[in-house]
A and B are shown apart, each in its own frame.
Chain A
Amino acid sequence: MQADLRLALVGNPNSGKSSLFNALTGNRQKVGNYPGVTVERRTGTIEAPDGRLISIIDLPGTYSLTPNSPDEVVTHDALVGMSHLEQTPDAVVCVVDATSLRLHLKFVLELKRLGHPILVALNMMDLALRDQIELDPDRLSEELGLPVVTTVAVRRSGVEKLVNMLRVSDWTELWKGFEPAVDTSKPELSVRDLQKEARRIAQAATIREGVEHALTRRIDAVVLNPLAGPMFLLGVLFLMFQAVFAWAEAPMEWIDGGIVTLQQLSLSSIPEGLLQSLIVDGVLAGVGSVIIFLPQILILFAFILILEASGYMARAAFLMDRVMTMAGLNGSAFIPLLSSFACAIPGIMAARTIDNPRDRLTTIMVAPLMTCAARLPVYTLIIAAFIPNTDVFGGIGLQGLVMFALYMIGIISALIVAAVLKKTLTKGAPPRLLMELPKYQVPRLRDLILGLLERARLFIRRAGTIILFSMILLWGLASFPASPPDATEPDIFYSAAGKIGRALEVVFAPIGFNWEISVALVPGMAAREVAVGALGTVYALSGSEDAVASSLATTLQSAWSLPTALAFLAWYIFAPQCLSTLAVAKRETNSWGWTVFMFSYLFVLAYIAAGATYWTTKALI
């Protein structure tokens, strides 16, 4: 579909550009990725009142046209016509925050020098009103020599006005009467000259300076207080995790029930044989093991999106900066790492908010060390089977203590690995923390829903396709060749997966793993918790998931020694085997090298940790 007009939205971060884009395009938007860089590409097409098509691209927000981060390179290249990814726009809508006119005007002046026809959207007029700022849009238009339209993107007000402006038959008429936007004849102005000019225009167009947003100031007095602030943050995090684990329980059960129903349906409607097994054990079990995490991931992202839209996220980074510096990271790595406690996939995806590419890479590399929800079934099984349920002191149980220790070892390892990486592979100047703490705002439901839909789509597509493929592959490995008629061992023993597992035993025997564990690790590649089911298969147990888990605990008590069990726990702190995490890491780093590195270093750490645990325990008992 060829658009009649290509419009680009540009502006500073926090200018409300994305809200304006959402208001303009609604659900007729497409979010994708620029090939080769992990920068989101948001486009949409709208129909002008006269039926002509206008394509709109939401270029990444930037403070200046000096390309700094990968986002800014995309914006810069597209605007100067250097981009091979993006056609040069016919016209540019520059979104300007009315409450911070002077700073945003500097960007407009910089933009003007590129010679595009520019329409200035004076956005956040509602916030300006709230802060008692009074502006003169006509004077602004006159001073800038550009058409100006006032908007409140979050309420769609002014958006129609903007669309109506595009109704004219000849779009160049919009800029009629304004001085030619191109004034490249003048020598290049320095940043300071631009600032001076921006200040002059802002002063001329401002009728009333306004007062500082009192509520923001009052909230900050509490949430940025050195004592109350961290406590409030802790409360927010507690609520977030409570929500992720408690609220998600019911929908996760529905999904589980739905999958089981489908499996039973397939069992009764498809004749017994390979096809039935493929659908029940391969496709349905595989897809089920991924989408079961969708509720947790959506709740987590809802929190992240609300924290971001309200303006609190930057404050959390501010509070955590000192702690994160110790690991060579900066405060913005905090939320991605925190999200990884639910699942490394949203954590790695959330790392996009980190500007510095090296910091982002470091964060992605250590994200899998945070104990994700998929490890819980494994931890629960082994702890129930091998750790006595005794009180250590004062009502603190040994089992709970071991669980806590497993989490802590993960966190400490992540900090150490990050610190080592920052001194070696991702070496560079210490990351700076230099960011705006935006004014508080009530998040808009529409932006939240659009954001959630987008995240859900990304998760299902990225993780779903690779999981489906690998589950079918693993199913094939576990089903062929079939066991001989005089089989004495479980079926899986004779299959390709069993053979691989037994071959792997050579590798794993020194750290105390028997062939049963080695075999279970192979299907466990799909997702960590699948190892529990796989152990059930290896020990030839059948029945419902819970029945397998409880009888498995009894079986393991006699089949495994304590050193082996503890070594298995230690292995799972680092456990590299999660194909979806690796797939997302590949996607987000855009590098096979880093993906292989992630797998390898996790494998080595898991191996050393399991080995050390095995031999130490063996020596002690």
Chain B
Amino acid sequence: MTSSQTLPLDRLPQRVKAKITEISAGTEKTAKSEQSLEDLLLGLGFEEGAEIEVRHQGPLGGPLAVNVDGRLIALRPVDAAAVLVETLHPFSGSVLGS
């Protein structure tokens, strides 16, 4: 692979630097008085343009620990899928196989 690519955060391999291009979690609220996923993500610093890198994953396919502009945030892969990222540098290797 020679160019940067766009992919959902849960498919970004560990230790590959990327930039957030879009957050599309939808604004529907799961229950009254609860914030939508998008609000929660925005509140924790996930925003378009922020630098992001997956650092760790919990055991047994657990949550991801991602560095967003210098802060380490834990979130589950299912929620991470709402964050679209673009890799900063081209990287080799298959994303699916990672």
Give A residues with C-beta under 8 Å from B.
63-64, 66-68, 73, 99-100, 102-103, 191-192, 195, 199, 212, 216, 220, 224-227, 229-230, 314, 317-319, 321-323, 331, 428-429, 432-439
Residue B55 interfacial (CB < 8 Å):
yes
Contacts of B65 in A (CB 8 A): 220, 224, 318, 437
Question: Which residues 27-50 in B have Cβ within 8 Å of A in the complex?
Answer: 30-31, 33-35, 37, 39-45, 47-48
The reply to whether B30 and A434 contact each other, CB–CB distance below 8 Å, is: no
Q: How far is the CB of A206 from chain B (nearest CB, A)?
A: 12
Residue B75 interfacial (CB < 8 Å):
yes
Residue B81 interfacial (CB < 8 Å):
no
User: If the complex has contacts A192-B47, A220-B56, A434-B79, are A322 and B62 also in contact, measured as CB distance less than 8 A?
Assistant: yes
**Number of B residues with CB within 8 Å of any CB on chain A:** 35
User: If the complex has contacts A100-B71, A318-B74, A429-B31, are A226 and B58 also in contact, measured as CB distance less than 8 A?
Assistant: yes
User: If the complex has contacts A100-B70, A433-B63, A434-B41, are A318 and B79 also in contact, measured as CB distance less than 8 A?
Assistant: no
Give B residues with C-beta under 8 Å from A.
30-31, 33-35, 37, 39-45, 47-48, 55-63, 65, 67, 69-76, 79
The reply to whether A318 and B55 contact each other, CB–CB distance below 8 Å, is: no
User: If the complex has contacts A321-B62, A321-B76, A437-B65, are A432 and B37 also in contact, measured as CB distance less than 8 A?
Assistant: yes
The reply to whether B55 and A220 contact each other, CB–CB distance below 8 Å, is: yes
Chain B residue at minimal CB-CB distance from A213: B70
User: If the complex has contacts A195-B47, A432-B76, are A323 and B69 also in contact, measured as CB distance less than 8 A?
Assistant: no
The reply to whether A434 and B74 contact each other, CB–CB distance below 8 Å, is: yes
Contacts of A73 in B (CB 8 A): 33
The reply to whether B56 and A224 contact each other, CB–CB distance below 8 Å, is: yes
Contacts of B42 in A (CB 8 A): 191-192, 195
Contacts of B67 in A (CB 8 A): 212
The reply to whether B75 and A323 contact each other, CB–CB distance below 8 Å, is: no
The reply to whether B75 and A433 contact each other, CB–CB distance below 8 Å, is: yes
Chain A residue at minimal CB-CB distance from B76: A433
Q: How far is the CB of B30 from chain A (nearest CB, A)?
A: 4
30 contacts between A and B (CB under 8 A): A66-B35, A68-B33, A100-B70, A103-B44, A191-B42, A192-B42, A195-B47, A212-B67, A224-B55, A224-B58, A227-B59, A318-B74, A319-B59, A321-B62, A321-B63, A322-B58, A322-B60, A322-B61, A322-B62, A322-B63, A323-B60, A428-B30, A432-B37, A434-B76, A434-B79, A435-B73, A436-B44, A436-B74, A437-B74, A438-B72
